[in-house]
A and B are shown apart, each in its own frame.
Chain A
Protein backbone atom coordinates (compact mmCIF):
# COMPACT_ATOMS: atom_id res chain seq x y z
CA UNK A 1 0.00 0.00 0.00
CA UNK A 2 1.48 3.35 -1.00
CA UNK A 3 1.11 6.74 0.66
CA UNK A 4 -1.69 7.90 -1.60
CA UNK A 5 -3.74 4.78 -1.11
CA UNK A 6 -3.40 5.04 2.65
CA UNK A 7 -4.34 8.71 2.58
CA UNK A 8 -7.50 7.94 0.58
CA UNK A 9 -8.53 5.21 3.02
CA UNK A 10 -7.84 7.43 6.02
CA UNK A 11 -9.75 10.35 4.51
CA UNK A 12 -12.67 8.07 3.72
CA UNK A 13 -12.70 6.62 7.25
CA UNK A 14 -12.63 10.11 8.76
CA UNK A 15 -15.46 11.16 6.47
CA UNK A 16 -17.55 8.25 7.75
CA UNK A 17 -17.09 5.72 4.96
CA UNK A 18 -17.67 2.26 6.45
CA UNK A 19 -15.61 0.36 3.89
CA UNK A 20 -12.62 2.60 4.43
CA UNK A 21 -13.03 2.33 8.18
CA UNK A 22 -13.04 -1.46 7.92
CA UNK A 23 -9.92 -1.39 5.77
CA UNK A 24 -8.22 0.84 8.32
CA UNK A 25 -9.23 -1.53 11.12
CA UNK A 26 -7.73 -4.42 9.14
CA UNK A 27 -4.48 -2.55 8.66
CA UNK A 28 -4.26 -1.62 12.34
CA UNK A 29 -5.65 -4.85 13.76
CA UNK A 30 -2.30 -5.87 15.32
CA UNK A 31 -2.00 -2.52 17.08
CA UNK A 32 -5.61 -2.62 18.31
CA UNK A 33 -5.20 -6.22 19.45
CA UNK A 34 -2.09 -5.26 21.40
CA UNK A 35 -4.24 -3.02 23.60
CA UNK A 36 -6.91 -5.66 24.19
CA UNK A 37 -5.09 -7.69 26.80
CA UNK A 38 -5.94 -7.47 30.49
CA UNK A 39 -3.72 -9.47 32.85
CA UNK A 40 -2.37 -11.36 29.86
CA UNK A 41 -5.82 -12.38 28.65
CA UNK A 42 -7.46 -11.11 25.50
CA UNK A 43 -10.67 -9.22 26.36
CA UNK A 44 -13.29 -9.19 23.60
CA UNK A 45 -15.40 -6.58 25.41
CA UNK A 46 -12.41 -4.27 25.56
CA UNK A 47 -11.82 -4.74 21.84
CA UNK A 48 -15.45 -3.83 21.13
CA UNK A 49 -15.07 -0.78 23.35
CA UNK A 50 -11.86 0.31 21.62
CA UNK A 51 -13.36 -0.11 18.16
CA UNK A 52 -16.42 1.88 19.19
CA UNK A 53 -14.19 4.53 20.70
CA UNK A 54 -12.13 4.70 17.53
CA UNK A 55 -15.23 4.88 15.32
CA UNK A 56 -16.57 7.77 17.39
CA UNK A 57 -13.29 9.67 17.56
CA UNK A 58 -11.56 9.09 14.25
CA UNK A 59 -13.03 12.33 12.90
CA UNK A 60 -10.91 14.20 15.46
CA UNK A 61 -7.72 13.24 13.66
CA UNK A 62 -6.51 16.17 11.60
CA UNK A 63 -4.84 15.25 8.32
Chain B
Protein backbone atom coordinates (compact mmCIF):
# COMPACT_ATOMS: atom_id res chain seq x y z
CA UNK B 1 0.00 0.00 0.00
CA UNK B 2 1.29 3.45 -0.86
CA UNK B 3 -0.14 6.83 0.10
CA UNK B 4 0.56 8.15 -3.40
CA UNK B 5 -1.58 5.44 -4.92
CA UNK B 6 -4.73 6.98 -6.45
CA UNK B 7 -4.03 10.28 -4.71
CA UNK B 8 -4.96 12.21 -7.84
CA UNK B 9 -8.34 10.53 -8.08
CA UNK B 10 -9.43 10.53 -4.49
CA UNK B 11 -10.19 14.00 -3.17
CA UNK B 12 -10.52 12.92 0.46
CA UNK B 13 -7.25 11.08 0.33
CA UNK B 14 -5.47 14.00 -1.31
CA UNK B 15 -6.89 16.38 1.29
CA UNK B 16 -5.82 14.08 4.14
CA UNK B 17 -2.34 13.66 2.66
CA UNK B 18 -1.88 17.43 2.46
CA UNK B 19 -3.24 17.87 5.99
CA UNK B 20 -0.96 15.13 7.34
CA UNK B 21 2.07 16.59 5.59
CA UNK B 22 1.45 19.99 7.20
CA UNK B 23 0.79 18.42 10.60
CA UNK B 24 4.03 16.46 10.45
CA UNK B 25 6.03 19.51 9.35
CA UNK B 26 4.69 21.57 12.25
CA UNK B 27 5.20 18.76 14.74
CA UNK B 28 8.77 18.34 13.55
CA UNK B 29 9.42 22.06 14.02
CA UNK B 30 8.00 21.87 17.55
CA UNK B 31 10.20 18.89 18.26
CA UNK B 32 13.32 20.65 17.00
CA UNK B 33 12.51 23.82 18.95
CA UNK B 34 12.04 21.80 22.10
CA UNK B 35 15.35 20.02 21.49
CA UNK B 36 17.11 23.37 21.16
CA UNK B 37 15.54 24.71 24.35
CA UNK B 38 16.59 21.71 26.38
CA UNK B 39 20.08 20.84 25.24
CA UNK B 40 21.26 17.54 26.60
CA UNK B 41 24.34 15.48 26.05
CA UNK B 42 24.13 11.76 25.67
CA UNK B 43 26.19 9.79 28.19
CA UNK B 44 27.41 7.70 25.26
CA UNK B 45 29.07 10.75 23.75
CA UNK B 46 31.14 11.51 26.86
CA UNK B 47 34.64 10.12 27.34
CA UNK B 48 34.95 7.47 30.02
CA UNK B 49 37.44 9.57 32.01
CA UNK B 50 34.89 12.39 32.17
CA UNK B 51 32.42 10.17 33.97
CA UNK B 52 32.69 9.37 37.68
CA UNK B 53 33.26 5.68 38.32
CA UNK B 54 30.31 5.34 40.70
CA UNK B 55 27.34 7.34 41.87
CA UNK B 56 29.07 7.91 45.22
CA UNK B 57 32.10 9.29 43.40
CA UNK B 58 29.81 11.65 41.52
CA UNK B 59 28.13 12.80 44.73
CA UNK B 60 31.54 13.36 46.30
CA UNK B 61 32.47 15.68 43.45
CA UNK B 62 29.41 17.77 44.29
CA UNK B 63 30.67 18.33 47.81
CA UNK B 64 34.37 18.39 47.11
CA UNK B 65 34.47 22.19 47.34
CA UNK B 66 33.97 22.07 51.11
CA UNK B 67 31.31 24.78 51.00
CA UNK B 68 31.46 25.40 54.74
CA UNK B 69 35.20 26.06 54.70
CA UNK B 70 35.68 24.05 57.87
CA UNK B 71 38.65 25.09 59.97
CA UNK B 72 37.97 22.41 62.54
CA UNK B 73 39.25 19.13 61.14
CA UNK B 74 37.02 16.95 63.30
CA UNK B 75 33.95 18.88 62.25
CA UNK B 76 34.88 18.45 58.59
CA UNK B 77 35.41 14.73 59.15
CA UNK B 78 32.11 14.38 61.03
CA UNK B 79 30.33 16.27 58.28
CA UNK B 80 31.79 14.01 55.60
CA UNK B 81 30.49 11.01 57.53
CA UNK B 82 26.90 12.24 57.24
CA UNK B 83 24.70 10.68 54.56
CA UNK B 84 24.99 12.61 51.31
CA UNK B 85 21.37 13.75 51.39
CA UNK B 86 21.87 15.17 54.89
CA UNK B 87 25.08 16.91 53.80
CA UNK B 88 23.26 18.48 50.89
CA UNK B 89 20.39 19.65 53.09
CA UNK B 90 22.77 21.23 55.62
CA UNK B 91 24.70 22.90 52.80
CA UNK B 92 21.52 24.34 51.30
CA UNK B 93 20.29 25.46 54.72
CA UNK B 94 23.45 27.06 56.08
CA UNK B 95 25.61 27.93 53.07
CA UNK B 96 22.96 28.84 50.51
CA UNK B 97 20.65 30.07 53.31
CA UNK B 98 17.58 28.57 51.70
CA UNK B 99 14.30 27.91 53.46
CA UNK B 100 13.23 24.32 54.18
CA UNK B 101 10.22 24.78 51.92
CA UNK B 102 12.43 25.76 48.96
CA UNK B 103 14.85 22.91 49.64
CA UNK B 104 11.94 20.50 49.79
CA UNK B 105 10.92 21.61 46.30
CA UNK B 106 14.44 21.13 44.93
CA UNK B 107 14.91 17.71 46.49
CA UNK B 108 11.35 16.62 45.83
CA UNK B 109 10.59 15.82 49.45
CA UNK B 110 8.58 17.40 52.27
CA UNK B 111 9.65 20.37 54.35
CA UNK B 112 9.20 18.21 57.42
CA UNK B 113 11.76 15.75 56.02
CA UNK B 114 14.22 18.62 55.52
CA UNK B 115 13.75 19.74 59.13
CA UNK B 116 14.18 16.18 60.40
CA UNK B 117 17.37 15.72 58.41
CA UNK B 118 18.67 19.03 59.72
CA UNK B 119 17.99 18.04 63.34
CA UNK B 120 19.56 14.62 62.88
CA UNK B 121 22.57 16.09 61.09
CA UNK B 122 23.21 18.74 63.73
CA UNK B 123 22.70 16.22 66.53
CA UNK B 124 25.27 13.88 64.97
CA UNK B 125 27.79 16.69 64.48
CA UNK B 126 27.31 17.94 68.05
CA UNK B 127 27.64 14.46 69.48
CA UNK B 128 30.75 13.66 67.47
CA UNK B 129 32.49 16.85 68.45
CA UNK B 130 31.54 16.65 72.15
CA UNK B 131 32.74 13.06 72.32
CA UNK B 132 36.01 14.14 70.76
CA UNK B 133 36.62 16.56 73.71
CA UNK B 134 38.53 19.83 74.09
CA UNK B 135 35.89 21.94 72.34
CA UNK B 136 34.61 24.88 74.35
CA UNK B 137 31.00 24.60 75.55
Contacts and interface: CB of A to CB of B under 8 A. Distances in A.
B91 interface: no
Interface stretch (B9-17, B43-51, B105-113): B9-17
A3 B5 CA distance: 11
Interface string B25-69: 101101110000000000000000000000000000000000000
Interface size class of A (residues with CB under 8 A): 20 to 34
A31 B16 CA distance: 12
Interface residues of B, number: 22
Contacts of A30: 2-3
A7 B2 CA distance: 15
B94 interface: no
A29 to B, nearest CB: 8
Interface of A: 1-3, 6-7, 10, 26-28, 30-32, 35, 38, 46, 49-50, 53-54, 57, 61, 63
Contacts of A63: 12
Contacts of B3: 27-28, 30-31
B28 A3 contact: no
Nearest to A7: B12
B24 A35 contact: yes
Nearest to A46: B31
